[in-house]
Structure 1
Amino acid sequence: MGATPPDPPPPQPVVPAWRRRTRGEVRWPVLVAIGVAIALQVSLPDDLTPQPRYLLPAVEALLLMVLLVLNPRHIVRASGPLRIAGLILIALVSLGNGVAAAQLVDLLVTGGLGQTGGGLLWAGASVFLTNILVFALWYWELDRGGPAMRASGDRQFPDFLFPQMATPHIANPHWEPRFADYLYLSSTNAATWGPADTLPLTRWAKLIMLLQSAISLVTVALVVARAVNILG
């Protein structure tokens, strides 16, 4: 009888995409989100926008064009100037929405906002939606050092634990977090005032989610209460 063939080697475990070097994600979903946030800021009434009214959106649009021209496709390498420009852009959008939220709360409490019920609901919805977009951008830009660092696979310890990371045996090995995942995280945190299926692991992630929940809670509670009072 011939020799028994050796057993085949056991299959090697597949390293999930979020733990190894990948091609990197495309930038256009982020650019679209920033463009929508700028449009929402422009739609707000004068009482809720920093003055001069169009200065901040114009600077934001300029930085958006710079990012679009310099790196419109895949984010595969860390570039100091590009990362700084991206962080400045997100910070400016955050500043504009922070001013709008503070002004909205102040005018609602003092009764100085001369808006109809429908107009008030639109102003509150604009601040609320921009809040979701802004924090989604922060989560996307800061988790594990940003999109370029995530694509390099150098940072193995995540700031946010997505379900695919906790259950790799039922997840596609090619899955890695994209902007849509951070947008979903921001949406659920704003709507439920707490994490849904994605958990913050680091202290900064917990604190920034706490800040977003507080802004969302105050905005929704005051706007809805005031609008119901007007419409009633």
Structure 2
Amino acid sequence: MTSSQNDSADDQVPAWARRTAGESRWLATAAMVGFLVLQAVMPDWLRLGQWWTVPGIGFALLLILFAASPFRIDREEVWLRRVGLVLMGLLAFAMIWAVVNLVRGLIDGQVSNNAAGLLGSGVAVWLSNFLVFALWYWELDRGGPAARAHARKPYPDFLFVQMQNPDLADPEWEPQFLDYLYLSFTNATAFSPTDVMPMSRWAKLTMMVQSGISLITVSLVIARAVNVLK
């Protein structure tokens, strides 16, 4: 097959299913920074360690990832993948810590009777949940952003509308962080899939966990706040 024939065949394959230049790092980095800032400003009883513990470790790991791939994520070194997963694990553990402490405080009645403060803490925990799961979806779908750039895995973990209807989408479309952010937001608010379907078992389980955390957080915080206001 000639070079022109190869180029023609590649043009007929949607971008998400073929090798591309790699996704820009900026939006995902902004979400990580946003989460770390939330950790720094959360009330002491919701934080994991001191105010600087999670942000300090998180920014150090983020700096390593940024130095290795400052613009586009297309490097597949094992050590980079491990650093990324360690960072995601840290963010997830900090989020779960905050959720557990929020629920414990609400059940034990130890949370302040200040409705505004309670709602503020609830919003911070909900935003943490929203950002962490968006990052996990982005980090794990088809092996992560670098693996997606090299089209390592043909079968998606999340089926986006553009994949189901390629004739209605730009051939250059491929899922990027904003798409996973939207997926996380709708799952955290509707407590179920909307237009993005989980295909693999881990994707279904992860979405189920996120919906459960969001439902418990919202219902308990609202119930307590209404009780305080009465």
TM-score bracket, shorter-length normalisation: over 0.9
Specify the alignment match of 1:18 in structure 2: 16
* Partner Cα separation in structure 2 for residue 164 and residue 115 of structure 1: 47
Per-residue deviation, 1:42: 1.4
Mapping 1:138-217, distance limit 5 Å: 138-217=136-215
RMSD in angstroms over aligned alpha carbons?
1.3
| Residue 52 of structure 1, CA deviation | 3.2
Say whether the 8 Å CA contact 2:114–2:228 is kept in structure 1: yes
Query: 1:115 offset after TM fit, Å?
Result: 4.8
Determine if contact 1:77/1:152 at 8 Å carries over to the other structure. Answer: no
Q: Once the 2 structures are TM-superposed, how far is the Cα of residue 75 of structure 1 from its aligned partner?
A: 1.0
Query: Whole-Å Cα distance in 2 between the matches of residues 115 and 162 of structure 1?
Result: 43
Q: Higher helix proportion, which one?
A: 2
Q: Deviations over 1:103-130 (max 9, x none)?
A: 0000001100125111111111011011
Matched positions, count: 222
- Distance in structure 2 (CA, Å) of the matches to 1:35 and 1:181: 18
Q: 1:134 to 1:215 in 2, by over 3 A?
A: same
In structure 2, what is the Cα distance between the partners aligned to 1:100 and 1:73?
Answer: 32
State which of 99, 102, 107 in structure 2 corresponds to 1:101: 99
The offset of 1:51, in angstroms, is 2.3
Match of 1:5 in 2: none
Unpaired stretches in structure 1, ≥5 consecutive residues: 1-10
Identity, in percent, stands at 48
Aligned-partner Cα distance in 1 for 2:168–2:94 = 41
Residues 130 and 188 in structure 2, CA contact (< 8 A), matched pair in contact too: yes
Q: Is 2:41–2:51's contact at 8 Å kept on the other side of the alignment?
A: no
Rounded Cα–Cα distance in structure 2 between residues aligned with 1:88 and 1:77: 17
Q: Which has the larger radius of gyration?
A: 1
